[in-house]
Amino acid sequence: MLNFLGQALIYIVPFLLVLTLVVTVHELGHYWVARLFKVKIDRFAIGFGRAILRRTDKRGVEWRIGWMPLGGYVKFSGDLDASSVPDQAGLAELRQRVIAEQGPAAVRDYFHFKPVWQRALITAGGPFANFVLAIAIFTALFATLGDQIAPPRVAAVDAGSAAAAAGFQPGDMILEANGAPVRRGEDVIRVVTLNSATPVQFVVERAGQRVNLTATPVRTTTEDAISGTVRVGRIGLKMGYLAGDVRAIRYNPIEAVGAAVRQVGEVLSTTLSYLGRIFTGRESGALLNGPLGIAKAAGGITTQATAGEAPVGLKAANLGLMLIQFAAILSIGIGFINLMPIPVLDGGHLVFYAYEAVARKPVAARVQEAGYRVGLALLACLMLFATWNDLQKLNLFKFLGGLVS
């Protein structure tokens, strides 16, 4: 029992800490842009359900923490439903009520009566804040720790593998993969993982000469300490590097920002590429994670960072560093997901505002209602698919099968 509780703490506590940070920053993005445009706000909440902490500030905003820390929201005055995009009839009713209760001057303080471009910026403020958080984290890491370039060398080639068929040899230094420079081994892994059954063009350095090689990754079941059991592309290379190949890079503050922006761009580009391959049937979607998968990754990071015989202080510092990097990646993911054009997400709101800007009137109530139903169904399907992936990666079905037999 104690072992179970210990494992639960390892997985749940880091997950909730990282998720709370990312969600809080997302909601603060909405909040501060709304404040910039003098929008009246009723509530800023982190977590759902009954409040365990609450405080009302001098502006009348209730700040609360709910007992279920799996999200958050900003409630603008006059919000009638989850859509925050009432139609013309709803706007007229709201306007009359505000005028009757507070006078005509109060109308301009309400989110729904702000110009459409301001509402769009407030809506985009959440995802934008997530990207800013990731850039800030990467900037701090690059500015303080710098970076290292260590193009990987081939340490071994699995017999009969795609790499062996392509002509890789021990000692080859990998310089490029699909036309992109290779800075470290992770670059090769990313390209290979996202190109199952698709030829990948490599450039290696061999005895001072550049050699072009082509290998086709084979989808293989692998076990990862952080992700669990997954089926991804592999070519059968074991990589390492020589001490003389490592080049340390120091960044000034401006260069660190540039490097951070490039890092965020690479993550977004990889995400878009992977999703594109899923929709075209070239990838299975096995790498999509739900809450269980994210918690598993957080627990894997915690276990990995605290392993070994290092002093407690060094382990704590290593854990903090790895979790803050994980927070940056998760923040990019949440910002990206929220920009998807699904009505219940920020991206769906932006689609409605785009229509309103062109048509000069809000989307009809029946269209909004249908859109939100479809959006909820899409999100539910996505969450079910991601959770199914998580359960398979955690080998839960195999575990349950063992209990039944």
Q: How confident is the model over 8-66, as pLDDT tens digits? A: 566 677 778 888 999 999 999 999 999 999 999 999 999 888 889 999 999 899 999 99
Q: Is 394 left (phi over 0), alpha (psi -120 to 50) or beta?
A: alpha
Answer for the pair 379, 343: CB distance below 8 angstroms, yes or no. no
pTM as predicted: 0.80
Please indicate, yes or no, if residue 187 is contained in any of the structural domains: yes
Please indicate, yes or no, if residue 376 is contained in any of the structural domains: no
Please indicate, yes or no, if residue 6 is contained in any of the structural domains: no
Q: What is the CATH number of the domain that holds 154?
A: 2.30.42.10
Helices (H) and strands (E) in the chain, counts: 11, 12
Cα(98)–Cα(105) distance, rounded to whole angstroms? Answer: 9
Q: What are phi and psi of 213, to 5 degrees?
A: -130, 150
User: Pick the catalytic residue: 27, 62, 93, 255?
Assistant: 27
Answer for the pair 45, 64: CB distance below 8 angstroms, yes or no. yes
Cα(171)–Cα(174) distance, rounded to whole angstroms? Answer: 9
- Per-residue pLDDT band at 399 (split at 50, 70, 90): very low
Element at 138 (helix H, strand E)? helix 116-145
pLDDT value for 145: 86
Please indicate, yes or no, if residue 160 is contained in any of the structural domains: yes
User: Among 153-162, 178-187, 205-214, 351-360, where is mean pLDDT lowest?
Assistant: 178-187
Going from the C-alpha of 262 to that of each of 134, 185, 194, 266, the distances in angstroms are 11, 18, 19, 6
Q: Per the structure block, which two tokens stand in for 351? A: 């689609």
How many domains is the chain partitioned into structurally? 1
Please indicate, yes or no, if residue 36 is contained in any of the structural domains: no
Average pLDDT over residues 169-182: 90
205 is catalytic: no
Please indicate, yes or no, if residue 235 is contained in any of the structural domains: yes
Please indicate, yes or no, if residue 165 is contained in any of the structural domains: yes
Query: Which domain range does residue 225 map to?
Result: 148-249
Cα(365)–Cα(358) distance, rounded to whole angstroms? Answer: 17
Q: Position 342: which residue type?
A: I
| Mean pLDDT, all residues of the chain | 80
Cα(186)–Cα(178) distance, rounded to whole angstroms? Answer: 14
**pLDDT tens by residue, 239-296:** 887 877 788 888 899 999 999 999 899 888 877 877 777 676 666 656 555 555 555 5
Please indicate, yes or no, if residue 374 is contained in any of the structural domains: no
Residue from 146, 168, 148 nearest 159 by CA: 168
